[in-house]
Amino acid sequence: MAKVSCVDISEFQQGINFSKMKSDGIKAVIIRAGYGRESSQKDSMFESHYKNAKSENMMIGVYWYSYADSVGDAEKEAKACLECINNKSLDMPIYYDLEDNSQTKLGKAKLTEIAERFCETIKKSNYRAGVYANLNWFNNYLDYDKLKKKYSIWLAQYNSVNELNCDIWQNSSTGRVSGYGKNIDTNIIFNESVFNSKKEDDKDKGKITKPDIFYRVRCDGVWLPEVKNLEDYAGLKGKAITDIAIKVSEGKVWYQVHTKSGWLPKVSGYDIDDLENGYAGNGSKIDAIRVYYTTPQSIAESLNKYLVAKYKVSAISKEYFDWQHDDQTSNGQDGYAGLFGNNIDRVLLVLE
């Protein structure tokens, strides 16, 4: 039998040591983003699970639990899911979890339409989509053949073999892996093509795309994992940031930070071992940052615009301040993100 290499998790699994889990051969996790048709039903552990799995360079997928009783509800569930994911990068499809007993009365044709509407709504945002169900549902409540032609199939069947062809087989709900001391859902990946980049058009290598910005911060003397664009924020809520490093995939960027002693020198490097130009900061708590991006001419001509660094920060345990663009001071811009005297704990950065 193929080896278990994937687990699926939600807020019901806490205290996971992802490093130990990865060392045990688990290379992928499928994380519940939430359930139902409201973004307020976001899984309380989604952000934490995503960030911790990402820090171990594990492959990440998402699932959304359905209660939909109409195609309209399915579309609302998809939009709620997308809002909760917030444009994060995924290595695997977004799976629609269909298993609730309240839905079985709807019948195969209606439930298949519901699955299709969710998946098509997901695909409009350039994510790949899939359907999760158990053997009974795929046999009696969903048009398995129709769905399989268009979407990834994730089958739940707690048996010695899988009786339907699928990309992922959830083979147990009582699995045991290192890094988690209780029962956990385990999965076998049959189709390695589920591990693709988030955007379907990323495979178009000849197309000039918007450059990426990468950044990481130091809190409590520890450098946190690197963040790309708006896939996550850099920082720890409640912990003051003392240093930040920023780089771009194309073009040039300079940045500087403000502490109680004033603005520190601008830097343009990205090397946490380079005290002069590798990062901005001197170990003191930061209350504001400034970032400026220079767009290469070829990128500007391809995109028909010049890009700016768009960024915002939050004071410790507070809401984010307004977005800032480069060092602009027109149209209500401050020319920097933050408020002097209020130390920051989170940073968001993107090129737009």
The C-alpha angle with vertex 332 and arms to 331 and 337, in degrees rounded to 5, equals 120
Structure tokens at 300: 């500007």
User: What pTM value is reported for the model?
Assistant: 0.58
pLDDT band for 202, please (50, 70, 90 cuts). very low
pLDDT tens for each residue of 108-154:
999 999 999 999 999 988 899 999 999 999 999 999 999 999 999 99
**pLDDT > 70 in the chain, percent:** 96
The DSSP result for 281-320, as a single string, is E-SSPP-EEEEEEE--HHHHHHHTS---EEEEEEETTS-B
CB neighbour list of residue 202: distance below 8 Å, 6 or more residues apart: 209
The DSSP result for 170-223, as a single string, is EEEEEEEETTEEEEEEEEEE--GGG---SSGGGG-TTS--PPPEEEEEEETTEE
What CA–CA distance (Å, rounded) separates 324 from 297? 23
